[in-house]
Amino acid sequence: MSKHLSIIVPVYNESKCILPFLKHIKTQASVKHEIIVVDGESIDESVSLIKSQKKIIVIQAKKGRAIQLNEGANCAKNEWLFFVHADTILPYHFDRLLLENLKNKKTARCFSLTFDLDHFLLKIAALGSRLNIAWCRGGDQTLMVHKDLFSDLGGFDEHYNIAEDLLLCRKIYRHGNFEILPKSVITSGRKFLKNGVFKTQLRHIIVRIMIFSGFNSNVVNSCFKKW
């Protein structure tokens, strides 16, 4: 198995955190990896800041996480894709943890989750992230998947403006193997502070119910806009 990842980071107006995050990736990794940052029409200084960094690939795409992630995957040179958000704190030598003892190309992996915000609902969500079931998957936990499996499953569904990560993970559970690594990533609670912890978690639950109940993208997107 390859020892190198293509690390794909979707961004939109991340000028405050993108440079520290890119430095974080390099210091936490055991070896150098391809880093692809996909900007979704940011209106701040995100792109210029990223371009100021050496050996970082910058791609411009339409705004939309699924679209951005697919664009990043399309230009990736390595066989293992690693999708991660720019507000994530990764464990030391995360790359070794992801790549060691892989069974085959159909094995996808993610980390369990903790939050930098102390709230009982987020603690429950963090505990849930340790369960190896499709319902508990989400983009904040990161995702590593082989390029062949990603392609066979059609990548992220660009019809959905939300839960694109959940939809792909459901496909992986059906057609591959999914493993939750014992180490955790730490994700920012900024979106919960902005929109309210209860409201944000309720939205996540409703969206999951709709996805697992088979609602199409138009209905899910329409519901998402109301929030």
SS3 of 193-218: HHHCHHHHHHHHHHHHHHHHCCCCHH
The span from the CA of 56 to the CA of 12, in Å, is 16
Asked whether residue 88 is domain-assigned, the answer is yes
Asked whether residue 206 is domain-assigned, the answer is no
Domain encompassing residue 106: 5-188
Task: Tell me what pLDDT residue 189 has.
Answer: 79
Task: Tell me what pLDDT residue 3 has.
Answer: 79
Render pLDDT for 184-211 as a digit per residue (tens, 0 to 9): 999 987 777 777 888 888 888 999 999 9
Residue 13, pLDDT > 70, answer yes
Residue 227, pLDDT > 70, answer no
Domain count, the chain: 1
Asked whether residue 224 is domain-assigned, the answer is no
Q: Which two tokens stand for residue 108?
A: 């996808």
Q: Of the candidates 140, 12, 149, which has an alpha carbon nearest to the alpha carbon of residue 83?
A: 140
Vertex 73, ends 114 and 145: CA angle to 5°?
50
Render pLDDT for 72-103 as a digit per residue (tens, 0 to 9): 999 999 999 999 999 999 999 999 999 999 98
Asked whether residue 205 is domain-assigned, the answer is no
Asked whether residue 17 is domain-assigned, the answer is yes
Q: Read off the CATH number of the domain in which 161 is found.
A: 3.90.550.10
Predicted TM-score (pTM) of the model is 0.94
Asked whether residue 195 is domain-assigned, the answer is no
The span from the CA of 176 to the CA of 96, in Å, is 21
The span from the CA of 60 to the CA of 157, in Å, is 19
Describe the crossing of helices 197-212 and 120-128 by its angle, rounded to 10 degrees: 30
Asked whether residue 197 is domain-assigned, the answer is no
- Name the residue with higher pLDDT: 199 or 168: 168
Task: Tell me what pLDDT residue 226 has.
Answer: 56
Q: Which amino acid would we find at residue 58? A: V
The span from the CA of 139 to the CA of 110, in Å, is 9
Q: What is the mean pLDDT of residues 53-57?
A: 93
Q: How far, in Å, are 23, 88, 217 from residue 116 at the CA level?
A: 19, 10, 31
Q: Which two tokens stand for residue 227?
A: 């929030």
Asked whether residue 81 is domain-assigned, the answer is yes
The span from the CA of 198 to the CA of 138, in Å, is 17
Render pLDDT for 108-155 as a digit per residue (tens, 0 to 9): 999 999 999 888 888 999 999 999 999 999 989 999 999 999 999 999
